[in-house]
């Protein structure tokens, strides 16, 4: 079966020729998945937004060097992961104490909470929200490579080979990372996964 | 291939499916790769499925509504920053080029002039030589040297031409 041409590659080739509209289209398409990855990797919402923006700036600056040898999303997530790793290394070299007071909420930016814990309503929704919070916490405590592997698994566009390319390791090593990450999450979330709330989650 | 290997392979394939998406109820109802020896094994697939559901249902993190606009502004800023650098480099290169180009051109012109002058001198020297050779070739037309031994003969040979008196009378 012939591989489908990647429409993002066509957009990126237009970006190489200076087409700003094509670049804006790529940003619109991938800003959410990039933010999901970056936000759950670095943790801090403000830094996450800066890094996510920088991902696309790097894409633009590197446009001339881009070669359509792989899917655009693989290249994009590789840049995103590398910028996240840079940030994590920077934090290790220069650890900082978090501010006690949260920053004031700006009108265009809603309160930055990862978990949807503010939704009132039936017990089901509250339990689901609690599960989400627990998953976020468990994900944050995973080693970076396992966490990134699991987060990239959520991206339907990426195959296991492409996830391996982003992580820079072999296919078998990637599957091992995913398996170990999931085993850790299952251990930590067992009470929630066996609970009624998780079991009542409607499958698609 | 052994049956156990086939079962493990089926298990692994199923795991790789549930890692990406929740299994459908029909898929969940399928027997696993190897016979379920204990209820714990049956639960395992349920847990895998629930975990995948939970991961799938993680909410999207908030993205500012003007995210794309801010990226475009940042990109324009990068472009504007690079453009003067490129212009400055071009100016620097032009200055360097002109600095050695003018003297080089002058030297080239001088050398060309010297070369042309030398070439012209060569050509004219040959022409002069050729004339001299041609003149020398007419020496044989002169009278033999013995003739010049007689003064009288010399005297008669060297005289100016006499006026044509008849022509003068006609003209008058």
Cα-Cα-Cα-Cα dihedral sign, residues B34, B36, B40, B42: positive
Give whole-number Cα distances, A145 to A19, A81, A86, A150, A158, in Å. Answer: 35, 10, 14, 9, 16
- d(C-alpha B28, C-alpha B23), whole Å: 6
- The alpha carbon of residue A5 is apart from the nearest alpha carbon of chain B, in Å, by 23
Which residue from A minimizes the CA distance to B72?
A24
Put residue A142 in one of left, alpha, beta given phi > 0 → left and psi -120 to 50 → alpha.
beta
Instruction: Convert the pLDDT of each residue in A148-195 to its tens digit.
Output: 999 999 988 899 999 999 999 999 999 999 999 999 999 999 888 876
Q: Is the pTM of the predicted complex or chain greater than 0.80?
A: no
Decide if B68 and A24 are in contact by the 8 Å CB cutoff.
yes
Half-sphere CA count of B97, side-chain side, radius 13 A: 6
Query: In this predicted model, what pLDDT tens digit does every residue of A161-173 receive, in sequence order?
Result: 999 999 999 999 9
Nearest-by-CA chain A residue for B27: A203
Burial (0-12, 13-18, 19+ Cβ within 10 Å), A106: exposed
Over residues B55-80, mean pLDDT = 93
- Does residue B32 surpass a pLDDT of 60? no
In this structure, chain B runs to a length of 172
Substitution target in B25, B75, B76 with the highest count of A β-carbons within 10 Å is: B75
Query: What's the pLDDT at B1?
Result: 60
Is the reported ipTM for this assembly greater than 0.90?
no
């Amino acid at each position: 079966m012939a591989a489908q041409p990647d429409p993002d590659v066509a957009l990126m080739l237009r970006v190489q020729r200076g087409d700003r509209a094509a670049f804006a289209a790529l940003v619109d398409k991938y800003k959410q998945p990039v933010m999901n990855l970056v936000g759950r990797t670095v943790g801090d919402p403000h830094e996450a937004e800066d890094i996510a923006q920088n991902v696309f700036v790097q894409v633009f600056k590197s446009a001339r060097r881009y070669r359509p040898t792989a899917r655009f999303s693989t290249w994009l997530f590789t840049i995103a992961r590398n910028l996240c790793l840079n940030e994590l290394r920077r934090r290790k070299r220069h650890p900082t104490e978090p501010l006690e007071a949260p920053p004031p909420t700006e009108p265009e930016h809603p309160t930055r909470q990862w978990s949807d814990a503010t939704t009132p309503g039936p017990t089901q929704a509250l339990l689901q929200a609690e599960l989400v919070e627990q998953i976020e916490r468990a994900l944050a405590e995973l080693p970076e490579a396992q966490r990134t592997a699991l987060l990239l698994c959520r991206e339907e566009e990426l195959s296991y080979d492409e996830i391996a390319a982003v992580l820079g390791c072999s296919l078998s090593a990637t599957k091992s990372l995913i398996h170990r990450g999931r085993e850790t999450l299952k251990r930590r979330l067992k009470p929630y996964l066996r609970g009624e709330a998780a079991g009542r989650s409607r499958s698609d | 291939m052994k049956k156990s290997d086939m079962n493990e392979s089926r298990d692994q394939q199923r795991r790789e499916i549930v890692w990406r998406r929740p299994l459908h109820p029909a898929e969940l109802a399928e027997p696993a790769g190897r016979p379920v020896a204990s209820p714990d094994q049956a639960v395992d697939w349920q847990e895998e499925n629930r975990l995948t559901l939970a991961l799938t249902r993680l909410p999207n993190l908030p993205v500012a509504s003007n995210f794309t606009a801010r990226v475009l502004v940042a990109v324009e800023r990068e472009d504007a920053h690079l453009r003067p650098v490129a212009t400055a480099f071009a100016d620097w290169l032009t200055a360097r080029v002109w600095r050695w180009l003018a003297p080089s051109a002058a030297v080239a012109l001088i050398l060309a002039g010297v070369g042309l002058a030398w070439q012209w001198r060569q050509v004219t020297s040959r022409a002069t030589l050729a004339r001299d050779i041609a003149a020398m070739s007419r020496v044989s037309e002169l009278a033999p040297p013995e003739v010049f031994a007689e003064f009288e003969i010399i005297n008669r040979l060297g005289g100016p031409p006499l006026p044509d008196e008849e022509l003068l009378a006609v003209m008058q």
